[in-house]
Amino acid sequence: IAHFGLGNTPVIEEVKITWQDGKVQILTNVKVNQLLTVDIKNATQIKLDKIPLNLPLFEEDTTIIHFTHQEKDFIDFNVQKLLPHKFSQYGPAVSVGDINQDGLDDIFFGGSRNFKGVFFVQKLDGNFEKQDLIQGKDDDKIEEDAGTLLFDADQDGDLDLYIASSGYEQKENSYCYQDRLYENDKGKFVLNPNALPKNLTSKHTAKATDFDKDGDLDLFVAGRVIPEKYPMPGSGFIFQNNSINGKIQFTDITDKTAPQLKNIGLVSDALWSDFDNDGNIDLILAGEWMSVTFLRNEKGTFKLQQTGIQTQIGWWNSLVSGDFDNDGDTDYIAGNLGLNTINRASEAEPIHIYAGDFNKDGNYDAFPTAYFKETQAGKKQEFPFFGRDDMIKQMLTFRKKFIDYKTFASSPFNQMLDAEEMKEALILKANYLQTSYIENIDGKNFKISSLPIETQFAPIFGMLGDDVDGDGNLDVLMVGNDFGCEVGQGRMDALNGLWLKGDGKGGFIIKRLEESGFLVAEDAKALAKMVDVKGNYLTIATQNKGKAKIFRSLKPIKPVRLQANDAYAIITFTNGKVRKEEFCYGHSFLSQSARVLLLPKNAKTVEIVSFKGEKRKLF
Q: State the average pLDDT over residues 466-470.
A: 96
- Give the separation between CA 477 and CA 466, rounded to whole angstroms: 8
Residues 20 and 158 in one domain: no
- pLDDT tens for each residue of 73-116: 999 999 999 999 999 999 999 999 999 999 999 999 999 999 99
Total number of domains in the chain: 3
In a domain, 617, yes or no: no
| 8 A C-beta contact, residue 186 and residue 194 | no
Cα of 381 vs its chain's centroid, Å: 32
Q: Is residue 485 part of a domain?
A: yes
Does residue 87 contact residue 570 with C-beta atoms inside 8 Å? no
Encode pLDDT of 302-318 as tens digits.
999 999 999 999 999 99
Looking only at the bridges linking them, the beta strands covering 475-480 and 578-582 are: unpaired
Whether the per-residue pLDDT at 139 is higher than 90: the answer is: no
Residue 257, φ and ψ in degrees, nearest 5: -100, -25
The dihedrals phi and psi of 177, each to the nearest 5 degrees, come to -95, 5
302 CA to centre of own chain: 23
The length of the chain, given as a count of residues: 619
Do 463 and 589 meet the contact criterion of CB atoms below 8 Å apart? yes
pLDDT at 327: 97
Which residue type is seen at 327? Answer: D
Residue 618 lies in a domain: no
Is residue 589 within 8 Å of residue 525, measured between CB atoms?
yes
2 occurs within a structural domain: no
Strand-strand pairing, 118-122 and 203-209: unpaired
Question: Is 0.85 surpassed by the pTM of this model?
Answer: yes
b/e sequence 276-288, b meaning 16+ C-beta within 10 Å: beeebbbbbbbbb
Q: How confident is the model at residue 10 (pLDDT cuts 50, 70, 90)?
A: confident
Does residue 531 sit in the same domain as residue 482? yes
pLDDT at 9 exceeding the cut of 80 = yes
Q: What pLDDT score was predicted for residue 138?
A: 77
Q: What is the pLDDT of residue 21?
A: 82
Q: Is the peptide bond before 92 cis (omega within 30 degrees of 0)?
A: yes
What is the average pLDDT score of the chain? 95
Last residue of a domain, one of 383, 406, 429: 429
Answer with the one of 363, 394, 429 that is the final residue of a domain: 429
Q: Give pLDDT tens digits for 194-238.
A: 999 999 999 999 999 999 999 999 999 999 999 999 999 999 999
Supply φ then ψ for residue 409, to 5 degrees.
-65, -25
150 assigned to some structural domain: yes
pLDDT reading at 403 higher than 90:
yes
pLDDT of 500-522, one tens digit each? 999 999 999 999 999 999 999 99
Give 470's Cβ-side CA count (13 Å radius). Answer: 12
Range of the domain at 63: 59-343+432-609
Give all strands (DSSP E) within 197-308, no chain letters. 203-209, 218-223, 236-241, 250-252, 266-273, 282-291, 293-298, 301-305
Bond from prior residue into 231 cis (ω within 30 degrees of 0) = yes
Q: SS3 for 362?
A: coil
For residues 475 and 539, what is the distance between their CA atoms, to the nearest angstrom? Answer: 14
Q: With H, G, I as helix, E, B as strand and everything else as coil, classify residue 141.
A: coil
Which pLDDT score is estimated for 2? 84
The pLDDT value recorded for residue 52 is 54
- Find all residues with CB under 8 Å of 336, minimum gap 6, and list them: 314, 315, 316, 317, 432, 433, 434, 435, 436, 459, 460
Question: What per-residue confidence (pLDDT) applies to 445?
Answer: 98
| 415 in the same domain as 289 | no
In a domain, 17, yes or no: yes
Percentage of the chain beyond pLDDT 90 is 88
Question: Residues 306, 331: one domain?
Answer: yes
Q: Which amino acid is at 348?
A: A
pLDDT at 48: 56
pLDDT at position 7 is 81
Q: What is the mean pLDDT of residues 157-176?
A: 97
Both 483 and 541 in one domain: the answer is: yes
- Grade residue 1 by pLDDT with cuts at 50, 70 and 90: confident
- The answer on 382 and 272 residing in a single domain is no
The answer to whether 177 and 167 have CB atoms below 8 angstroms apart is: yes
Binned at pLDDT 50, 70 and 90, residue 49 comes out as: low
In terms of domains, do 253 and 380 share one?
A: no
Residue pair 130/118 in contact by the 8 Å Cβ criterion: yes
488: CB partners within 8 A, 6+ apart: 386, 387, 390
Report CA 365 to chain centroid distance, whole Å: 27
Pairing of strands 94-97, 591-592: parallel
For residue 509, how many other CB atoms are within 10 A of its CB? Answer: 11
Q: What is the pLDDT of residue 92?
A: 99
Closest CA to 569 of 618, 506, 612: 618
> d(Cα 163, Cα 145) in Å, to the nearest integer?
6
Q: Quick one: 321 and 411 in the same domain?
A: no
- Going by the DSSP 8-state scheme, the letter that residue 171 receives in this structure is P
Q: 80-89, 134-143, 292-301, 563-572: which range is least confident on average?
A: 134-143
Neighbour count for residue 326 (Cβ, 10 Å): 22
pLDDT tens track for 255-268: 999 999 999 999 99
Residues 6+ apart with CB under 8 A from 185: none
Three-state SS annotation for 441-463: CCCCCEEEEECCHHHHCCCEEEE
Query: Which of 383, 409, 429 finishes a domain?
Result: 429
Residue 64 half-sphere exposure, CB side, CA atoms within 13 Å? 22
Going by C-alpha positions, the residue among 387, 344, 408, 407 that lies closest to residue 487 is: 387
Handedness of CA 219, 147, 476, 468 (dihedral sign): positive
Rounded to the nearest 5°, which phi and psi values hold at 525?
A: -130, -70
Kindly state whether residue 619 falls inside one of the protein's structural domains: no
- Write the CATH number for 327: 2.130.10.10
CA dihedral 203→271→453→22, nearest 10 degrees, is -90
Tell me: do 397 and 441 sit in the same domain: no
CB 530 within 8 A of CB 538: yes
Return the closest-CA partner of residue 564 out of 297, 277, 119, 209. 209
| Chain centroid, CA 361 distance in Å | 36
Judgement on whether residues 228 and 368 belong to the same structural domain of the protein = no
Q: Give burial (CB, 10 Å; 0-12/13-18/19+) of 417.
A: buried
Task: Give yes or no: residues 74 and 220 share one domain.
Answer: yes
Q: Give dist(CA 334, CA 480) in Å, integer.
A: 13
Shared domain check, 417 and 393:
yes
Beta bridge partners of 94: 109, 591
Residue 564 pLDDT level (bands cut at 50, 70, 90): very high
Distance of CA 451 to the CA centre of its chain: 15
The CA dihedral of 150, 154, 158, 164, to the nearest 10 degrees, is -20
